[in-house]
Every structure is written in C-alpha cells, then in structure tokens.
Structure 1
C-alpha cells in the first residue's frame, strides 16, 4: 500500500508541473488516471 501511495504522490507532483492549459488538454485523455490527476492538479492550481 505504501508503494501505491508513493507512486500516486510522485505522479501527482509530476502532473502538477504542467501549465493550466496543458492540464485542461489532459482532461481529454482516454486514461482515467491521467484525467483524475489532471483534475486534481487543476483544482490545486485554481484553489477550487
């Protein structure tokens, strides 16, 4: 479980380096995890 958490944290940090327009584009991804992380990072970036 700890490894999954670490992998998720790393993926979220990496996704958080994208610009807001890039994150918006990633919301159209077919990959559910990518869309989920992009949405989380967009919420972080816009404080919503």
Structure 2
C-alpha cells in the first residue's frame, strides 16, 4: 500500500509541473486518473 501512495505522490508531483493551460487541456482526457490529478493540480495552482 505504501508503494501505491508513493506512486500517487510521484504522479501528482509530475502533473504539477504542467502549466495551467496544459492542466485545463488534461481535464478532457479519457483517463479518469489523469483528469483527477489534473483537477487536483489545477486547484493547487489556483489556490481553490
């Protein structure tokens, strides 16, 4: 389970390197995990 948490944290960190326009584009992804991470990072980037 710790490996899952670590993988998630790494994926979130990597997604957080995208610009706001890139994150907005990623919200249209067919992959649910990509959309979820993009939304989290977009909220982080805009402090909402």
- Normalised TM-score (structure 2): 1.00
Helix, strand or coil for the counterpart of 1:41? helix
Aligned residues: 48
**What is the CA-CA distance between 1:28 and the residue it aligns to?**
0.1
> Separation in 1 of the partners of 2:46 and 2:25?
16
Unaligned runs of 5+ in 1: none
- Residue deviations 1:14-46, cap 9 Å, x none? 000000000000000000000000000000000
Runs of 4+ more than 4 Å apart: none
> Separation in 1 of the partners of 2:43 and 2:28?
16
User: Once superposed, what is the RMSD of the aligned Cα atoms?
Assistant: 0.1
